[in-house]
Amino acid sequence: MTNQNQLFLYSFRRCPYAMRARMALKISGLKIELREILLKDKPSCMLEFSNKATVPVLVIDNKTVIDESYDIMLWALKQHDPDNWLVMFDKSETLIKQCDFEFKPILDSYKYNDQNKELQLKSREDSCIFLNKIEHRLLKTNYLFSNEITLADIAIFPFIRQYAYVDIKWFEKSEFKAINLWLKKLINSELFETIMQKYPLFKQSNKTVFLG
């Protein structure tokens, strides 16, 4: 296992990509220095490590950089996977990619076109293709691939959460009853509450802050 004193994560609390990375890192038990940033005021040291200028960015031993959230999740769980989140990895990868590359653009259109109701409703309609896949799975098991949490649940859940809060009243009354139950379980979980604590900004604090 990597020296725990040599790991730090640039993160933004409300970013769904950063959320799923923090959840995987937290469950792995690794000691992570958390560097909470503002997306409109990114620290120069983060940009030196990753010119993508997006979060999350995990730095290992001050030299190895992982700046894709899904890759951070896999790296963390390969160090230590106490709850067997990787058990369904081969079966779940396709669904995770569909979330990241098909559902996420539709989610962005739905979220950010609030001034164009026609386009927003079209995006909501388009999103139902993916949501129906999720609903169908959750009618069979408590979580996406089994009755226990796996990688897919943690990788996908932050984006469903973001989607739901665009119009939470509609979503809670929608036909996606199983998704609503699944979402509430994950939102109310101790793990999620832990990684959603508010931390001082990295640029404004001289203190070292650790995840969770």
Q: Provide the CATH number for the domain around residue 116.
A: 1.20.1050.10
Query: Do 97 and 185 belong to one domain?
Result: yes
pTM: 0.95
Domain range spanning residue 98? 85-189
Quick one: pLDDT band at residue 9, thresholds 50, 70, 90?
A: very high
pLDDT above 90: residue 75:
yes
Q: Is the dihedral of CA 80, 153, 183, 121 positive or negative?
A: positive
Under a CB-based contact definition with an 8 Å cutoff, are residues 30 and 76 in contact? yes
43 assigned to some structural domain: yes
Instruction: Give 76's pLDDT tier (boundaries 50, 70, 90).
Output: very high
200 domain residue, yes or no: yes
In a domain, 212, yes or no: no
CATH code for the domain of 197 = 3.40.30.10
Mean residue pLDDT across the chain: 95
pLDDT at 82 over 90: yes
Q: What is the pLDDT of residue 5?
A: 54
- Rounded Cα distance between 173 and 176, Å, is 8
Same domain, 76 and 149: no
Q: Residues 106, 15: one domain?
A: no
Q: Establish if 211 belongs to a structural domain.
A: no
Is residue 153 included in any domain, yes or no?
A: yes
Segment among 16-30, 88-102, 191-205 with least mean pLDDT: 191-205
